Structure 1
Amino acid sequence: MDMATQRIEEPASGAPTRRRRIVRNTLLGIVAAVFAVWLILFITRGRFLKSPFQSIVGKLTDRTVTVRGDFQLYFAPLNIKFLAEGLTISNPAWATRPNLFAAKRIDTRIAPLSLIFGKRRLYWLDLADGAVDLEWNVAHTANTWTFSEKKGGKPLDFPRIDRATVVGTTVRYIDPRMQLLANLGVDTIRSTGARIGDTVGLRGDGRIRETPFTVTAQLLSPNETVARGANKLVAQMHAAHNVIDVTGTLPSIADIENVPLQTRARGRNMAELLGIIGVAIPQTRTYRMRAQLVKSGEVYRFTHMVGIAGATDLAGRLTITNGKRIHLDSVLATRTLDIIDAAPFIGYNPDIVAAKGAVAAAAATGAAPQRLMPDAQFPVATMQFFDADLKWTVRQVRSKNLPISNIDMTLDLERGRLALSPLTFAMARGNVASDLVFDTRPRPSAVTYDIRLAPTPMGRLLAGYGLAESGTTGTIKGRIQLAGRGDTIHDSLSTSKGRIAFIMPQGALWTRNVQLAELDVGTFVQKLFEDKLKKPVQVNCGLIGFTVRSGVAAADPILIDTSKNVIAGRGGFSFKTEAVDLAFRADGKKFSLFSGQSPVGIGGYFSAPALQVISPQLLGRAGAGLGLALLATPPAAVLAFVDIGDAKSAACGPVLAGATASAQRTTKGEPRDDVGHGTTSKAEDGKREPKRKKFLGIF
């Protein structure tokens, strides 16, 4: 029984022993095999793996991998030794250059476990004459350095490098959407004991759109770079008379995604700066700006923006989205806008305005002599290239004659249609609201102007031109509605049609110029000698209205009713030639012994208007008076200047409504016969008015 039991138990006790022997032998076999592989690789330096390496890596990356010279891949003794001479890795077929990477020689030691656990580490790297080609495709859906068929591209991922010698390395970068080409050279890098030195430099040049640029950069903490720590970067770019400085701390040598970067820009004209990326803005004078930049994919956000352009301060934020169409979204605030810095908004060069005046600035755009309106072309092609949204507020405008403040502008540019709507500002305790549209999609551009002036005190409005603010209670309100076609301000107004009307409700004006306008010469002379020039003129109501056709504005009507006179005007002005041909005549309501009763003429051009107080009619009266004095007695000469005072007071209803000349009435309801003659090409009923002397050679 014991013998049988013993025979049965022997196999059970011997089984673990046999399993241990199998495991041991297996492990010994694996170790022997690994050692044999290691030994073979060490002896042969792994040169026989050249073809498998090219094939396997090529299939994994879907690229062609070629080693034209020596190749080594082995354990030495535990780290992976990799050497390749004449190594190239091809680009995708759509790229403009054949290779993503090429090097005369690459020699490195790799930590084996880093390949398994993902945090790749190179103990040392010796790279000679490396060339890297980084490129996006036209659709911006793939790049050359991402080995994936998925849409988009990953950022560059550099391994940790403990020691390195890098000589003759160049980098080429292309982004078709930004129309950017950069060719960069990396200064020689030599590190020992994981210490690179004080700086690593980079320099190069390129083109962004049609603008050439140069760039220099330094990595001020390269030893942090190899340790994948904080990398202090300083870079400077020169382009189109602009200098741009960028500083920041990068998490890795090529990772700028979502990293705050401090940027500074300075130059002679901010329009040249944004013109680099194909964005059109009005010209500026010398500028300095600083902001914080954060890039997130296609979006570049500039925040905490502060600077100055000319004599105008700017603050706010700007977001540039580099999508299929460039889009700008900006919010700006200005404390003080210098009026000269506003000149580019209508096409003037601000430097010329500051040095030589508006006429010289207009001439610089190609305008005819003595013209004020510029012939600067709208940037039609550029306006159709990008879109923009802008909200801009200005607290006050620095101007000698125009009391403007509290500007609030909303700008919307979409596919070539630019709308400034609304554009509001305060002027002399009044408010101006406007909607301006420049649509460059039709050819030529379709432009509309709608400008509305709320009731505004005339004393403050015209104080810079000699009107006494103290004692002037008169106000003025008005509206300009015009529509024209053209690719310049001048052309759009030269073809415009519409109406201009300014209304003066009841009030008092206090200035000697108004007395001249009334042309009651006897009263004016009496007050001159009696030193009573500052007695207010009482205005019952007034209308300065023009009907605009084909760029020519004809008085329709000019009618001002005062306590003593009725002032009527004829003529008009031309946006085409900027010529002015206006005549004002005052008829007295009461008897006046000394009254010239002849028109005051305003001629010349917008840039140089001429006041003709002593008109031919007045000289004729003086001649008649002289003849009477010779033929009769001296008192008879006075009769030539007598006004019998038969002017008919105006009904203020049609005047305050801004009605046309045909709708004007006397206080008795009768049609007026002193307005509407020769002021428009046709009467309101469609019948031609009696033929009179042509105004501006047109009417």
Structure 2
Amino acid sequence: MPKMLNWNVLRSRFGARAASAKARAVKGRDWIRRNDPVYAAVRRPGPAEWWAGGLTLLLIAVVLIFLAWFDWNRLRGPIGRWASAEYQRDIAINGDLNVHLFSWTPSVRVQGLKIGGPDWARDRDTARIDTVEASVRLRRLLAGQVEMPLLRFTRPQVVLIAAEDGRKSWALNADRADDGQGMKLPVIQKLVITDGRLVFEERRRKMTLDAAVDAHEGADGDAGFLLQGEGTVNRSPLTLRIEGGPFINIRRDRPYRFKARMAGAGSSLTATGAVTRPFDLGRFDATLTLEGRDLADLYLLTGLTLPNTPPYRLSGALKRNEAVWTFNDFDGRVGASDLSGDLRVQGGGRLQVEAELASRRLDIDDLAAVLGARTVTNARGTETEAPVAKGGKLLPDAPLQTERLRQMDGSLTYRAAAVKANELDVRAVNLGAELKDGILNLDPISFDFNRGALNGTARIDATQARPYSRVDLRLSGYPLESIVPARNGAPPLTGRALGRARLEGPGASVHQFAASSKGTISLVVPDGRMRAAFAELLGINASAGLLKLLSGDQSTAQIRCAVADFNVSGGTATAKTLVIDTDVVLAQGGGTIDLGQETLNLRIDGESKKPRLLRIWAPITVQGPLTAPRVGVDVGAVASQGGLAGLLATVAAPVTALFAFVDPGLAEDANCGQLIAGAR
């Protein structure tokens, strides 16, 4: 059987140890009583001890009497001189300084407080306050906590200036970097502000605000905090209103409710929420609604660089956690498209922005505004929803705000699951962007069509006033019938197009970039079909081509290959190869495309591969604006050919005059493999 515990033995052992510890304690106490002079002096004070104790009590009494009767105004000068030297600005107390120490709630009253501006803004005092009254709870203070039963300001006049280089006039310690964590105030049970005025200037965004500030306590409906003012932002009107409840019922564990609304620069921000830990302004939750005519305008109100857009309205959950701001689960509309997602902004120095955006159904016209297309005014005098390029241009010309790109870093993803019906037949969009030190990388740039896709990347260097860009775009499998619409129910062209554009150059807008770019542009159709009538007319076959057109012939000819390969320099694309090879005609041409003027000037000569009667040797011309090119025939060549026929008719039999219009059909097939390889 297991051995049982002997509780008597254990009890006796613990008892012996306890007795030994007690004996040691008694021995140590006796030693102190016999040998410690301090203990002996306290137990049996002599004359010296009595004198020392009396002098100590007398000194304490003198100090207390001195503090009770001291004229605290004598310290105004020393305090002002010390503060001025410490914070490198003019600080002074020009009125009375009263201190009441002998209370469980010590208090101070300062009149005529002046805090001057820094060296770069000495003409504007940061603060002038007629009277400041404050009290603290002594017991809390001795416990290491600051709790203020009262904080009262009478006629405070505060001027806050943010310089273009980021310096802030209210930063008393200019050498300390702004951590972006927000102001942390002590617990205030009663806040009273009478006839307050706040002036704010943000010179980088050309923002000014002149606001009245009031706060008072009580049970009436008017009790609470109110800041309300007007100003301008980039020369347009600005309004701001912030209101909250009275402070009398605030507790550390009870959120403090507030409402705020700012409107200006064609935008408005409305927030309703709560400071989750009262007096810690670095933490709050709110519901935020944004609306306006262009998301890019929000830079003037928030400092965030956002793309150009059509009119928008978005709502979501705004949260601040010290230096991190999030706008999560927002949803709404931008133009005719829906938009949702999450936004995260890291403050405390250079802004770091991360955004994940998505649309369930995108209107492709809204995306044009992001690329720089501008809205125009319709006949009724209101802005149209669909953005268009200014002046009838195809390429957007709105300038990129390079100075804004240099002020923040970040990343963005955007996906449109579906796209409304459009002329280009775009079905889905996937975009990615990363901004770092003024360089914007777009990767991927992806558009999925009904058949085929456009994919690529772009890099925009915005470190200089005029950005320099590089783009590399690839088109794969795009159907020709989407380029040339069907006529009489049948498409004149079928097949898949492949293309690539590699361009680089300076320019603040898409149009300026194209007008000064260099690189290559190529378009290849490796196989396809063309209406036989059009194929014949490439060689201006007046017999077969016109007859088929007039008879409504829908038969097709094979496109063995079509290649358009251009070298681009100074915004002008010059044809290096321009070939359309069908089984009946080989057409070759040349010419230029002016990307700056957005015009075409191309010439195509066709040679029939079969003998034809009434073949007119005249080139086809493609000229005019990219948005509405004109296709015609070089009438000069037709006239010269007709003149030759007339000359022959005067010296020979009438049948001989037909020789000028007879095509022997000597053209050979083009080397499509070599042409396609060269274009790629």
Fold shared, TM-score > 0.5 on shorter chain: yes
Q: Distance in 2 between matches of 1:424 and 1:240?
A: 33
**1:401·1:465 contact (CA, 8 Å) conserved in 2?**
no
Q: 1:580 to 1:198 in 2, by over 3 A?
A: same
Whole-Å separation in 2 of the counterparts to 1:102 and 1:239: 28
8 Å Cα contact 1:83-1:106 kept in structure 2:
yes
Q: Which residue of 2 aligns with 1:12?
A: none
Whether the aligned pair in 1 keeps the contact of 2:431 and 2:443 (CA below 8 Å) is yes
Judged with a 3 Å threshold, the aligned counterparts in structure 2 of structure 1 residues 88 and 213 are, in CA distance, closer, same or farther, namely same
What does 1:244-255 correspond to in 2, within 5 Å?
A: 244-251=269-276, 255=280
State whether residues 181 and 208 of structure 1, in contact with CA within 8 Å, keep that contact through their aligned partners in structure 2. yes
Counterparts of 1:659 and 1:125, CA distance in 2 = 77
Q: Residues 237 and 203 from structure 1, CA distance in 2 versus in 1: closer, same or farther, beyond 3 angstroms?
A: same
Q: Per the alignment, do residues 554 and 176 of structure 1 end up closer, same or farther by CA in structure 2, a change over 3 Å counting? A: closer
Deviation of 1:108 (Å): 5.5
Matches within 5 A, 1:234-249: 234-249=259-274
In structure 2, the residue matched to 1:48 is: 71
1:31 Cα offset (Å): 10
Q: 1:434 to 1:79 in 2, by over 3 A?
A: closer
How far apart are 1:217 and its partner, in Å?
Answer: 1.0
Amino acid at match of 2:627: S
Number of corresponding residues = 633
Shift, 1:424, TM fit: 2.0
What is the rounded CA distance, in whole Å, between the counterparts of 2:383 and 2:533 in structure 1?
A: 33
TM-aligned CA deviation for residue 246 of structure 1: 1.8
Tell me the secondary structure at the aligned position of residue 649 of structure 1. coil
Aligned to 2:621: 601
Instruction: Report the counterpart of residue 73 of structure 1 in structure 2.
Output: 99
| CA pair 102-115 structure 1, distance change in 2 beyond 3 A | farther
**1:365-384 CA distance string (max 9 Å, x none):** xxxxx754455444344444
Deviation readout 1:214-251 (Å, 9 max, x if unpaired): 31111045444477732111011122121111221014
Moved more, 464-473 or 636-645: 464-473
Q: Please state if 1:575 is matched with 2:595.
A: yes
Counterpart of 2:318? 293
What SS is found at the alignment partner of 2:629?
strand
Moved more, 71-80 or 647-656: 71-80
Question: 1:654 Cα deviation (Å)?
Answer: 1.2
Residues 467 and 445 from structure 1, CA distance in 2 versus in 1: closer, same or farther, beyond 3 angstroms? farther
Supply the distance in 2 between the matched residues of 1:429 and 1:241 (Cα, whole angstroms): 40
- Report the AA paired with residue 480 of structure 2: M
Q: Supply the distance in 1 between the matched residues of 2:497 and 2:130 (Cα, whole angstroms).
A: 81
Match of residue 686 from structure 1: none
Residues 569-616 of structure 1: per-residue CA shift (max 9 Å, x gap): 233322344332222233222233454453322122223311215845
Unaligned runs of 5+ in 1: 1-14, 364-369, 661-699
Mapping of 1:239-278 within 5 angstroms?
239-251=264-276, 255-276=280-301
Q: 5 Å matches for 1:380-459? A: 380-398=402-420, 400-441=422-463, 445-459=467-481
Contact 2:564-2:577 within 8 A present in 1 as well: yes
Aligned to 1:319: 344
* Letter matched to residue 548 of structure 1: V
Please give the alpha-carbon distance, in whole angstroms, between the structure 1 residues aligned to 2:107 and 2:410: 55
Answer whether contact 2:532 2:545 (CA < 8 A) is retained.
no
Aligned mates of 1:145, 1:113 — CA distance in 2: 31
User: What does 1:275-674 align with in structure 2 at a 5 Å threshold?
Assistant: 275-276=300-301, 281-322=306-347, 324-351=349-376, 361-363=389-391, 372-373=394-395, 375-398=397-420, 400-441=422-463, 445-459=467-481, 461-462=482-483, 464=485, 466=487, 474-509=495-530, 516-517=537-538, 519-528=540-549, 530-533=551-554, 535-593=555-613, 595-613=615-633, 615-618=635-638, 641-658=661-678
The answer to which of 380-389 and 347-356 deviates more is 347-356
AA in 2 matched with 1:406: A
Q: Please list the CA deviations of residues 247-272 of structure 1 after superposition, one character each: whole Å capped at 9, or x if unmatched.
A: 21014665331322322211112111
SS at match of 1:400: coil
- Return the offset for 1:310: 1.4
Corresponding residue for 1:685? none
SS in 2 for 1:294: strand
Contact 1:210 1:276 in 2 (8 A): no
Report % sequence identity. 23
Offset at 1:420? 2.5
Residues 138-174 of structure 1 show CA distances to partners (whole Å, capped at 9, x for unaligned) of 9989995888997667854444444554312334567
TM-score normalised by the chain length of structure 1:
0.74
Alignment CA distance shift 1:358-1:140 (3 Å): closer
Asked if structure 2 preserves the Cα contact closer than 8 Å seen for 1:124 and 1:164, the reply is yes
User: SS where residue 259 of structure 1 aligns?
Assistant: strand
TM-score normalised to structure 2 length: 0.76
The structure-2 alpha-carbon separation of the partners of 1:441 and 1:203, relative to structure 1 and needing over 3 Å to count, comes to closer
Task: Classify the secondary structure of the residue corresponding to 2:678.
Answer: coil
- The CA deviation at 1:119 is 3.6
1:464-514 CA-partner distances (Å, limit 9, x unpaired): 465967797522212222333444444443443333222222332458655
Structure 2 CA distance for partners of 1:300 and 1:122, relative to 1, 3 Å: closer
For 2:403 and 2:126, locate their aligned partners in 1 and report how far apart those are by CA, in whole Å.
35
Give the direction of change, closer, same or farther, for the CA distance of 1:329–1:523 in structure 2 (3 Å limit).
same
After superposition, the Cα gap between the structure-2 partners of 1:150 and 1:236, relative to the gap in structure 1 and judged at 3 Å, is closer
SS in 2 for 1:168: strand
Going from structure 1 to structure 2, the CA distance change for 1:521 and 1:172 (only over 3 Å counts) comes to same
What is the SS of the residue equivalent to 2:434?
Answer: strand
- Are the equivalent residues in 1 in contact too, given 2:234–2:265 (CA < 8 A)? no
Supply the distance in 1 between the matched residues of 2:384 and 2:200 (Cα, whole angstroms).
45
- Summarize the alignment of residues 6-45 of structure 1 with structure 2, pairs less than 5 Å apart: none
Q: Tell whether the 8 Å contact from 2:215 to 2:224 is kept in structure 1 after alignment.
A: no
What amino acid is aligned across from residue 166 of structure 1 in structure 2?
A: I
Distance in structure 2 (CA, Å) of the matches to 1:493 and 1:147: 49
Opposite residue 481 of structure 1, the aligned amino acid is: R
SS state at 2:141 partner: helix
CA 1:109/1:39 → structure 2, altered by over 3 Å: closer, same or farther?
farther
1:216 paired with 2:236, answer: no
CA distance in 2 between partners of 1:199 and 1:447 (Å):
54
Which amino acid is 1:655 matched to? L
Q: In structure 1, what is the Cα distance between the partners aligned to 2:396 and 2:587?
A: 34
Q: Is the 8 Å Cα contact of residues 166 and 190 (structure 1) preserved in structure 2? A: no
Amino acid of the residue matched to residue 51 of structure 1? R
Q: Verify the 8 A CA contact 2:185 2:280 in the aligned structure 1.
A: no
CA-atom RMSD, angstroms? 4.9
